[in-house]
Chain A
Amino acid sequence: MNRKRIIILTVAIIVLAGMLVYTGTIFAQTPTLYWGSSGSEVSKVQSKLQAWGYYNGPVDGHYGAGTFNAVKKFQAKNGLSADGIVGKATWQALGFTPATGAARTTQKYTPSRGVSGRDDIMLLSRVVEGEALAEPYQGKVAVAAVILNRVDSDQFPNSLAGVIYQPHAFESITNGFANRAPSEDSIKAAQDAMNGWDPTYGCLFFWNPSKPVSSWIWSRKILTQIGAHVFAK
């Protein structure tokens, strides 16, 4: 939920690409090490310090008190701030070249061109049209917001198309009403929801209480009513 929501809210329609970059840095050679770190990187440091006579504990890959003290001693001797943290400078002093913060690509970068927010708004507004045609404007924004909340929720598919086309999720999708062209109001409502307006404050369900619905849905906590729909978490 909210996983993507905060950033989407923060900068409207900016696309998040951080995750890819994150996986790219996973294999960086010289991570910052400190008390409590473990792994082969710690072993590397331990054996180096052992060879140079700063460390006489076991090379076990666990950054404990012994390693901490050895690192501090090493740092003090080498004119580094003796904080016991193996950062870039310490790695370098130990004789490891740190991976530079940014890898240089050798090929010329081609600007991207495939992204437009338009498709999402049209898809969303068609469901709004199908589900909330006769509802007041706030009710339309609310329906759009519920769909977006589902995308962010752990209980529903992870994409807008996945949520909208989830079998039996929306009546207007099942019976094909959502294939009609959306009205100006529905598009505006979808846009407001995309820009972060959520009159339901995080609801995941809505239904018309005067129509028959399956009984389990009534077990959800109803937060508010807008027009003919009640909204629940």
Chain B
Amino acid sequence: MLKRWWIVPTLIGVLAVAGLAYWGSSVSNDRNQLVTLINNRNQRAFLEMVGNVQNMEVLLSKSIVSGSPRQRMLIFADVWQQAYSAQENLTQVPMAGRNVTRTARFLTQTGDFAWSLAKKYARGQSATPKELAQLNELHREAGFLAAELNQITKRSEDGLLSWGEIRAESRNKLAGQPLTVPDGLTKIDKNMEEFPTLIYDGPFSDHITARKPVGLTGSTINSARAGDIAEKFLEVGSDQDFKVVDTDNVSGTIPAFRAYLKPQNADLPRVNVDISKKGGHVLSMLNPRDVAAARISGQKAVTIASDFLAGQKIDSMVPTYTVEQRNMATVIFEYKQNGVLIYPDLIKVKVALDNGEIIGYDATQFYMNHHVRKLAKPKLSEKEALAEVNPQLKIESKRLAVIPLENLKEVMVYEFKGNLNGDVFIVYINAQTGDEERILKVVETNGGTMTM
């Protein structure tokens, strides 16, 4: 009997070891499965991108060769789709701490450029010699990218490819210098640097990303003056007495001072007021205080916001929309010139619906865009423009406006707001050509009601 004392502990021990081994192997199995799953996804995104870039190269060369405008238009639409897809796939490759922004940018711009050309052909125009030269360059660059990507793919066939994402991968590595895909892509990205600037008729054109404000007037101010302006600005919209506690710099497209202010008699979070260095214009303000239950209506908020703007001596601004969310109303104002609504020149004023205090202000777009426009007399009458609108739409309101297109060019349009079985649309008809420039749909969201 005594001799067998060890049997029970041994049995327990053996069971424990077996259990542990089983648990360990299943954890390791799960882990391997996950690693494979992730690698497969990465692989898919990467290989799909390689395919997209190859298609781009082929399509770009076809677009250069093609002699038919209609065919060209279809090819350009195809280039756009392939470039878009390539960009999506590229940005799904894990690139911890590395960067492929230049490649991504090349892909977006090429697609965008092709799309702008497709639209050009759709309007019955054709590419200029300069644009054809740019196409040649893009074709060359796409070829370079495709060839470099092929290098990486080739290594993947040799089994030397890794994502460098999961540590355990190194265990499976064969002899030789492993290359991670992110490393390879980073290397390519460096060589994309010298790509020339691309200027064309689309939203990602370099002339748009580099645009400068046109609405700033006056001379440069110092930070003390900015503090004064900030205090005065807050005093108008509030019964609190604000004092500047800190000032920062913002060196964006509009160089500015950022003043932080606190109310004198209350422990509330800091309010920031951004003031342009040129001219001392208030660009933006945010007061993050909590807002209690609403006691004033959205309608009253519009009046308060209008009075506030008038007090700031910014004239000819008319309220167009109000968005009510969480006991706050954001009122959107547009500039009006000779009875025409100028959409690019907008200012937003946020009113707390508990006591009517102004708790937010944003005039950045106004100062980026505002200038006196030369408004040509519309060639079309309102009636002629209305004939271009789908007759099913029940028109509720109409007016003349200037809207920015994708390329930020401004066009004068007739704005028709209409209703189709309960869905509200806004249709913009070019006042000179009768083209339908844009359609917007008004959506009532759960986040807040929107009224016009």
Contacts and interface: CB of A to CB of B under 8 A. Distances in A.
Contacts of A47: none
A25 B350 CA distance: 39
Contacts of B225: none
A139 B390 CA distance: 46
Interface residues of A, number: 83
A131 interface: no
Contacts of B387: 101
Contacts of B212: none
Contacts of A11: 320-321, 332, 440
Given A26-B73, A166-B91, A197 B440 contact: no
Given A39-B124, A116-B445, A191-B447, A16 B249 contact: no
Nearest to B330: A195
A42 B108 CA distance: 32
Interface residues of B, number: 97
A110 B272 CA distance: 46
Interface in B338-393: 343-344, 346, 348, 350, 360, 362, 364-365, 387-392
A15 B96 contact: no
A13 interface: yes
Nearest to B126: A38
Contacts of A41: 124
Contacts of A61: 69
Contacts of A199: 250, 258, 272, 274, 284, 286
B446 A167 contact: no
Contacts of B253: 201-202
Given A26-B122, A157-B88, A195-B323, A109 B204 contact: no
Interface string B403-443: 11010100000000000111100100000011011111111
Please indicate which of the listed interface residues B91, B104, B346 has the most CB atoms of chain A within 10 Å of its own CB.
Answer: B91
B188 interface: no
B360 A192 contact: yes
Most A CB atoms within 10 A — which of B69, B73, B88, B404?
B69
Contacts of B121: 39
Given A37-B124, A154-B105, A197-B360, A15 B441 contact: yes
A133 to B, nearest CB: 15
Contacts of B202: 3
B171 interface: no
B269 interface: yes
B307 interface: no
A38 B69 contact: yes
A118 B443 contact: no
B248 interface: yes
A226 B260 CA distance: 11
A3 B406 contact: yes
Contacts of B221: none
Interface string B97-126: 111011011001100100000010111111
Contact of B251 (A102, A137, A224): A224
Contacts of A195: 323, 330, 348, 350
A36 interface: yes
A7 interface: yes
B218 interface: no
B250 A223 contact: yes
Interface in A58-102: 61, 88, 101-102
B104 A154 contact: yes
A188 B124 contact: no
Contacts of B446: 116-118
B115 to A, nearest CB: 9
B286 A138 contact: yes
A32 B124 contact: yes
Contacts of B284: 197-199
Given A17-B441, A88-B434, A167 B125 contact: no
A101 B434 contact: yes
Contacts of B160: none
Given A3-B203, A31-B124, A137 B269 contact: yes
Contacts of B450: 12-14
Contact of A9 (B208, B346, B434): B346
B399 interface: no
A217 B69 CA distance: 44
Contacts of A203: 252
B348 A196 contact: yes
A168 B96 contact: yes
Interface in B204-252: 204, 208-209, 248-252
Contact of B252 (A40, A136, A154, A223): A223
A199 to B, nearest CB: 7
Contacts of A18: 437-440
A213 B97 CA distance: 7
B93 interface: yes
A111 interface: yes
Nearest to B95: A168
A228 interface: no
B62 to A, nearest CB: 18
Interface in B42-86: 69-70, 73, 84
Interface of B: 69-70, 73, 84, 87-88, 91-99, 101-102, 104-105, 108-109, 112, 119, 121-126, 202-204, 208-209, 248-254, 256, 258, 269-270, 272, 274, 284, 286, 288, 320-321, 323, 325-326, 330, 332, 334, 343-344, 346, 348, 350, 360, 362, 364-365, 387-392, 403-404, 406, 408, 420-423, 426, 433-434, 436-443, 445-448, 450
Given A13-B447, A154-B204, 5 more contacts: A155-B108, A157-B91, A167-B94, A197-B286, A224-B258
> Top 7 A-B pairs ranked by shortest CB distance?
A201-B252, A214-B97, A137-B288, A3-B203, A154-B108, A101-B388, A167-B94
17 contacts: A1-B204, A2-B203, A3-B204, A11-B321, A13-B450, A26-B122, A42-B124, A112-B423, A112-B441, A116-B446, A117-B446, A157-B88, A157-B92, A162-B92, A195-B323, A216-B99, A224-B252
